[in-house]
């Protein structure tokens, strides 16, 4: 997607610099993103079960995702007389979450299905082995490409609106890697001697394409001959026809490999986006320069679709949020 987008962007930028007609303008922009994600199901990849007795303490294991940078870049064509806008932009982001846990007296259980069949190939038991040490590394790659057609409406001297429709395509790849050490049999509570460590890798890869819609609002807080200060609010959504490719492979150092067969799935996925920020714009002749700073959040519903031992088939949402700092140049 990146290579195709940048070819399109180069074409649009070359056209932007060639715009000479007085009734047209074009702008290019780039935004630095600093986001964090949260995903339902990342708070239960394993459980620490304390010793039984009058008082028992259990803990669900989550994945703390770090704040990570991303990039958004694009081009905007504007027909001044009719106030129509054509906007093309790409958003790219990747992040990682990690967690390590170890215990002496408690049990660390896996929430993934492959581990259930380890030392339990018939599935007759109530659990697979538990462990004394475990680790998690969860990687997320997020790419979207948007094409929008909108028209600016001047409501009054203090406010402009830009409703739009468009097309959105998205690629969201997730890789869930877990490691497990010092296995114990859940029935006998004795160490397992046939293997000493194991890994399980789940991939949840999504590709989608569909219509988008939204509304941008601009509130003019201050205006002078050369400078403007605007409050910007944006809301948009999209319905994407999507395809999920899911794999789940457990391996230990016996070596034993267990593959969970997941049917490929296709269905409609909905996403929503909101943004609130401030823009300072400065005009010099025929060129406008502006800076924006704001906060953005996105919700991608039904993104996580793998089969969990604890929860069955998941249909969980992916949330992104954080700061946006952008620069814009209009010709």
CA dihedral 285→291→297→303, nearest 10 degrees, is 70
Q: What is the mean pLDDT of residues 39-56?
A: 83
Report the 10 Å Cβ neighbour count for 221: 12
* Cβ pair 228, 222 in contact under 8 A: yes
Report the 10 Å Cβ neighbour count for 284: 8
Report the range of poorest mean pLDDT among 10-19, 83-92, 132-141: 10-19
> Which CATH number characterizes residue 103's domain?
2.40.128
Q: What is the mean pLDDT of residues 318-324?
A: 97
Each residue of 120-156: pLDDT tens digit? Answer: 776 676 778 999 999 999 999 999 999 999 999 999 9
Each residue of 244-303: pLDDT tens digit? Answer: 999 999 999 988 899 988 878 899 999 999 999 999 999 877 788 999 999 999 999 999
* Cβ pair 235, 271 in contact under 8 A: no
DSSP state of 126: S
Q: Pick from 23, 122, 35, 138: which is nearest to 82 by CA?
A: 23
Report the DSSP beta bridge partners of residue 166: 148, 212
Residue 23 has pLDDT above 70, yes or no: no
pTM of the model: 0.88
pLDDT for res 4:
54
Q: Pick from 248, 291, 313, 278: which is nearest to 114 by CA?
A: 248
pLDDT for res 312:
67
Q: What whole-number distance in Å separates Cα of residue 197 and Cα of residue 133? A: 9
Q: For a pLDDT cut of 90, what percent of the chain falls above it?
A: 66
Domain that holds residue 87: 2-330
Dump strand ranges (E) for 159-286: 159-184, 197-223, 227-252, 256-260, 265-284
Residue 27 has pLDDT above 50, yes or no: yes
Q: For a pLDDT cut of 70, what percent of the chain falls above it?
A: 91
Q: Pick from 180, 185, 195: which is nearest to 103 by CA?
A: 180
Report which of residues 232 and 10 the model is more confident about.
232
First-to-final CA distance of the chain: 27
Report the range of poorest mean pLDDT among 125-139, 208-222, 269-283, 309-323: 309-323
Total domains, the chain: 1
DSSP state of 41: T
Mean of per-residue pLDDT scores for the chain: 89
Map tokens 């590709």 to a residue.
207
Report which of residues 8 and 297 the model is more confident about.
297
Helix-strand-coil split of the chain, %, nearest 5: 5, 70, 25
Residue 10 has pLDDT above 60, yes or no: no
Q: How many Cα atoms are found within 13 Å in the side-chain-facing hemisphere of 264?
A: 6
* Cβ pair 266, 242 in contact under 8 A: yes
pLDDT for res 308:
76
CA dihedral 290→217→142→207, nearest 10 degrees, is -140
Q: What whole-number distance in Å separates Cα of residue 298 and Cα of residue 241? A: 18
DSSP state of 67: P
């Amino acid at each position: 997607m990146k290579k195709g987008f940048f070819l399109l962007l180069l074409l649009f930028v070359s056209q932007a610099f060639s715009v000479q007609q007085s009734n047209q303008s074009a702008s290019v922009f780039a935004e630095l993103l600093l986001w964090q994600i949260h995903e339902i199901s990342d708070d239960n990849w394993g459980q620490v079960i304390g010793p039984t007795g009058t008082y028992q303490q259990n803990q669900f294991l989550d994945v703390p995702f770090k704040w990570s940078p991303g990039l958004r870049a694009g081009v905007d064509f504007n027909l001044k007389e009719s106030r129509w806008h054509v906007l093309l932009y790409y958003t790219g982001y990747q992040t990682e979450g990690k967690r390590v846990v170890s215990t002496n007296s408690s049990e660390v259980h896996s929430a993934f299905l492959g581990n259930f069949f380890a030392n339990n190939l018939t599935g007759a038991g109530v659990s697979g082995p538990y462990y004394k040490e475990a680790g998690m590394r969860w990687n997320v790659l997020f790419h979207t490409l948007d094409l929008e057609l909108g028209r600016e409406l001047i409501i009054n001297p203090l406010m402009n609106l830009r409703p739009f429709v468009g097309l959105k395509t998205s690629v969201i790849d997730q890789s869930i890697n877990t490691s497990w050490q010092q296995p114990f049999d859940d029935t006998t509570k004795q160490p397992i001697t046939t293997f000493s460590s194991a890994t399980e890798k789940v991939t949840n890869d999504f590709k989608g394409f569909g219509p988008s819609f939204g509304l941008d609002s601009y509130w003019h807080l201050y205006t002078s001959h050369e400078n403007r200060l605007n409050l910007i609010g944006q809301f948009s959504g999209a319905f994407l026809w999507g395809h999920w490719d899911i794999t789940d492979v457990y391996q230990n150092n016996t070596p034993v490999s267990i593959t969970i067969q997941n049917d490929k799935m296709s269905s409609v996925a909905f996403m929503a986006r909101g943004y609130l920020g401030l823009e300072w714009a400065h005009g010099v002749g025929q060129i406008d320069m502006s800076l924006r700073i704001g906060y953005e959040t996105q919700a991608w519903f039904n993104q996580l679709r793998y089969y969990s031992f604890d929860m069955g088939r998941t249909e969980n949402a992916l949330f992104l949020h954080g700061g946006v700092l952008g620069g814009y140049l209009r010709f």
